[in-house]
Chain A
């Protein structure tokens, strides 16, 4: 609490500098600048941590030439990206070509506005905060389409259509998994969701049966929304060069990756807020450590989990991806909602926990068994060969 009160009083002191008329704008800027700089710095650090951690998983060192242990590598990468030539195709739509990465970055960063970093530290306090987050995430698809279309490149267009299809398919399980949390917390606003998980690690939503499944589904959907491995068809080198980012070079390409990482951070922060208790410490005695520290610790743990998954799994094919979203994750998230309703109506005690766990586990195992049975290999049908043979 002391950290949050200190920050708020500091901000109120600084706002007094500005003249009367500009105070709201100045106050908004003062809320925004620390968040943006913190996440910008985190982006630089996480790119290095990702490369070194992937290297260790693959039995090699990560980058270790620039600076001791490679810690200046992000600076070197930044300099490289800034000094590259900015090539824009001649027949591309110049205005849209410029706007697309900026729009993607804006939608990614707007999502950071509603996350509660501390006790009263929310940049914008909306009553329907989580709806704002998902609405802005939906607008990101449009930016991907503009990027692919403005490049005037058939393959970039195809890549962007595939990326949009992927993002749309995984948006439904994403939203439905979070609706379970909203049902339990009783409000759409994120500070209230965090308040409902106050009191230590036992009251976090991830230990409830619906919270556990919901968190797993939410994390998988997050991986697919930010085009990260194993769902990284839009940005893999062997898939249509770079999909919608083919005709981008230099700093605009860096902005695409910045937007992807910031979106990943925003969604990890949202996961921590919804399922892991937000800025609350795991034990009440550790409450003196300020809230933002706990939120960033949980965020970094989730990002390390994402890097671990990236180092483990091969890429999913486009049709496998869509099948997974529509045939597995959507029914599971709907089932999760039903379990949440049952859990809430049974009061939330041990009996409700057991019933909820049985329902979720039964749905998971039963549905996965059903799906794997239906995809057994059938005899091959040569449709066009048979037809031409019949016609001749």
Chain B
């Protein structure tokens, strides 16, 4: 447990707690961005460069911006404050959080991850990630590509202007397109 990891963990946890507790939603999102950066720094400390930089690129660069756009488009600029909650919710939330944490901690400590030695950082290179993606994990990769394509097409469909049906008031308009003599 060296000093750098302690500092990074402290920043991550503090910003995650702030992201939960702050009133203004945009402040929450910005603290969440700091949390993402903290996680990326943890990855980098483990010399997982590809994952770390992808974390920054995807989460900080794209997901935060997406959340902010969603907030601003649906809520407007000024009324982004959460309503007051009562302390009973707080207790239930704490209980649920502790339960989840207990399950995950038990799972991690009982698995083989804590018993095997940490892998040498030289073996985890971008080349090995690429090779394993295209040799071992090619089916998840293609499924992921399909999923992303579906999401893109769905977004384009949602954003397209609506089509007029045959019974619309425009169908009895004289057709002037492409007919110069009319």
Q: Which residues of A contact B (CB under 8 A)?
A: 96, 126-128, 131-132, 134-139, 141-142, 145-146, 149, 154, 157, 161, 164, 168, 171, 187-188, 378-379, 381, 386-387, 390
**Bound CA span A137–B57, Å:** 8
> Closest Cβ of chain B: how far from A252's Cβ, in Å?
19
Contact of B53 among A135, A146, A164, A168 (CB under 8 A): A135
Closest Cβ–Cβ distance, residue B174 to chain A (whole Å): 10
B54 with A135: CB separation less than 8 A: yes
- Contact among B61, B68, B125, B173 with A139 in the assembled complex (CB-CB below 8 Å): B61
Cβ-defined partner of A390 (8 Å) among B56, B69, B125, B169: B169
Question: Do B126 and A138 have beta carbons less than 8 Å apart?
Answer: no
In the docked arrangement, what's the CA distance between A209 and B176, Å? Answer: 45
Look across to chain B and name the residue whose beta carbon is closest to the beta carbon of A154. B77
Closest A residue, CB atoms, query B33: A142
Residue of A nearest to B169 (CB): A390
**Residue pair B72, A161 in contact (C-beta under 8 Å):** yes
Q: Which residue among A128, A136, A164 has the maximum number of chain B CB atoms within 10 Å of its CB?
A: A128
Contact A142 B49 (CB under 8 A): no
Chain A residue contacts of B127, Cβ below 8 A: 187
**Do residues A387 and B61 form an inter-chain contact, with CB atoms below 8 A?**
no
Contacts of B126 in A (CB 8 A): 127-128, 187-188
- Count chain A CB atoms within 10 A of each CB in B30, B65, B127, B176 and give the residue with the most: B65
B72, A136: Cβ atoms under 8 Å?
no
Closest to B47 in A: A127
Chain B positions 125-182 with a Cβ under 8 Å from a chain A Cβ = 125-127, 169-170, 173, 176-177
Q: Are A157 and B77 in contact (CB under 8 A)?
A: yes
Contacts of B28 on A, CB cut-off 8 Å?
A: none
What's the dominant secondary structure at chain B's contact region? helix
Cβ–Cβ contact B125 & A141, under 8 A: no
| Chain B residues, Cβ within 8 Å of A157 | 72, 77
A131 near B49: Cβ-Cβ < 8 Å: yes
Give the residues in chain B near A168, CB-CB below 8 Å.
62, 65
Residues A138 and B173 in contact in the complex (CB < 8 Å), given A131-B49, A161-B69: no
A215–B169 CA distance with the chains assembled, in angstroms:
50
Is A141's CB under 8 angstroms from B72's CB?
no
A149 to B27, CA, bound (A): 11
- A138 near B33 with CB under 8 A, answer no
Taking CB atoms, residues of chain A closer than 8 Å to B39 are: none
Binary per-residue interface labels of chain B (68-84) against chain A in the complex, 1 for a CB within 8 Å, 0 otherwise: 11001000010000000
Does A138 contact B61, Cβ atoms closer than 8 Å?
yes
The interface residues of chain B lying within 8 Å CB-to-CB of A188 are: 50, 126
Report the nearest B residue to A145, measured CB to CB: B68
Contacts of A96 in B (CB 8 A): 30
Given the complex, which residues of A lie within 8 Å of B49, measured CB to CB? 126-128, 131-132
Nearest CB on B from A185, distance (A): 12
- CB neighbours (8 Å) of A381 from chain B are 170
Which residue of B is nearest A391, CB measured? B169
Known contacts A145-B68, A157-B72; is A138 also within 8 Å of B62 by CB? yes
Residues in chain B near residue A138, CB distance under 8 A: 56-57, 60-62
